[in-house]
Amino acid sequence: MHEMGIAMQIIEIALDSIPPNLQGKAVEKVNLKVGKLSAIVPESLRFCFDVVARDTLLAGSKLNIEEIPVKAKCRDCHFEWTINDPEFTCKNCQGGAIDIIAGRELDIESIEIADREKPDAG
């Protein structure tokens, strides 16, 4: 399950991103963008995130995952479309020279920090 390693990296990046003046504040939500081609199972990632977040400032925070559809652009006719099936040919000219322009993302979009202190912060 590679989601555990990804969850560990998300926690590390999120913790490193909290400004010093907000240390000790409760983190409410970590917002991710995850492409459909990234081979990540969102529920597995949420489970792993919850496990890894224990005993950190992210304990109890929600991992919000926005799934990004696979989008392609034809190199020949420049048509752009969302790919919903395993057929990777242009919907406009049926050409096979396409570029995947979205769907591989794995980005931390934002971290939402509460105004209140973490209950066990001291």
Query: Tens place of pLDDT for every residue, the chain, 122 residues?
Result: 589 999 999 999 999 998 888 888 889 999 999 999 999 999 999 999 999 999 898 999 999 999 999 999 999 999 999 998 888 899 999 999 999 999 999 999 999 998 766 655 44
Q: Give CA–CA dist 53/12, Å, rounded.
A: 10
Which of the following CATH numbers is that of domain 3-69+102-115: 3.30.2320.50, 3.50.50.60, 2.30.30.60, 3.40.50.300? 3.30.2320.50
pTM for the whole thing? Answer: 0.80
Phi, psi of 64 (to 5 degrees): -95, 120
- Please list, in sequence order, all residues whose beta carbon lies within 8 angstroms of the beta carbon of residue 85, skipping any fewer than 6 positions away: none
